[in-house]
Amino acid sequence: MRAKNKTIVVSGGGSGMGRELVLALLAKGAKVVALDKNQTGLEETVKLVMDKAANLSTHVIDITDKIAVEQLAARIISEQGFIDGLINNAGIIQPFVRVNDLGYETIERVMNVNFYGTLYLIKSFLPHLLTRPEAHIVDISSMGGFLPVPGQTIYGASKAAVKLLTEGLHAELASTNVKVTVVFPGGVNTNILQNSGLEMPKASEGKSKTPNILSAGKAAQIILNAMEKDRYRVLVGNDAKIMDFLYRLNPKAAAGMITKQMSKILSQ
């Protein structure tokens, strides 16, 4: 589905990759409805839009609140007249600790934002999307959604749930005009740590290393290109592509590589 002249909802539009998706969609000639829990973040996104502000509307919403999501979706459809696409980008990670050391409150928060928030938005907009001549749902999973990452096991489980949800939707909607794409980003330069209320632990004392990760803007371009080409799945970043290949080739060995990389963080 081409973005031009379409109206597309983007969750997590107040920062990081979500903000870049909003800006890129506007540049392509789309109208965008940006959702975020952070009002300040949404206001900062609006400031960056400049001459395309008329094509952007913003709404503060906690996507874990099912009733609020349903009510907002109905309001957005009424105000906009129609919605052609939904990009489920909002997400958080967990503290870098093992499952045994993770409290249920944190576990539930991660699952509620990443899985249920995505599900609530899909359920709220899908009946309307099915009435459109063409429509598209894009769900952001993660490299951690197909490859185990010790210290991010619950996050990975939530993103694996998004993966299967999206793939199931693709199968269920195959005979409709609603296309579905699942996205697996690797390392992307966003502020997901801050949005999750976390700090990145140091892998070793006295050393500072900046990983070679993809910019949020580049990631957004890859995702939108996949949407416009009706791709089934897209791997964002060389790390995601490499680990996808290795995990298909030898799942245990690939998991072992990640475990070794995470061992210093988890040993602290």
DSSP string, 179-199: EEEEEEE-SEE--HHHHTT--
**pTM of the shown model:** 0.91
pLDDT at 206: 41
Structural domain harbouring 146: 7-266
Query: Alpha-carbon distance 18 to 46, whole Å?
Result: 13
**Tokens 């990760």 label which residue?**
213
Give the residue among 79, 115, 80, 90 at the shortest CA–CA distance from 38. Answer: 90
Q: Is residue 31 part of a domain?
A: yes
Say which CATH number the domain at 187 has: 3.40.50.720
Q: Is residue 168 part of a domain?
A: yes
Amino acid at 78: S
pLDDT at 52: 92
Query: Alpha-carbon distance 147 to 243, whole Å?
Result: 8
Q: Is residue 83 part of a domain?
A: yes
Query: Alpha-carbon distance 234 to 169, whole Å?
Result: 16
Query: Alpha-carbon distance 185 to 41, whole Å?
Result: 22
Q: Is residue 1 part of a domain?
A: no
Question: Of 116, 120, 155, 247, which one is the catalytic site residue?
Answer: 155
What sign for the dihedral angle of Cα 8, 2, 244, 240?
Answer: negative
- Beta strands (DSSP E) in the chain are 7-11, 31-36, 56-60, 85-88, 135-140, 178-185, 188-189, 214-215, 233-236
104 classed as catalytic: no
> What is the tally of structural domains in the chain?
1
Q: Is residue 2 part of a domain?
A: no
pLDDT at 212: 63
pLDDT at 207: 43
Q: Is residue 139 part of a domain?
A: yes
pLDDT at 205: 44
Q: Is residue 75 part of a domain?
A: yes
Give the residue among 93, 103, 183 at the shortest CA–CA distance from 138. Answer: 183
pLDDT at 266: 83
Low-confidence spans in the chain with pLDDT less than 70: 190-212, 267-268
pLDDT at 189: 82
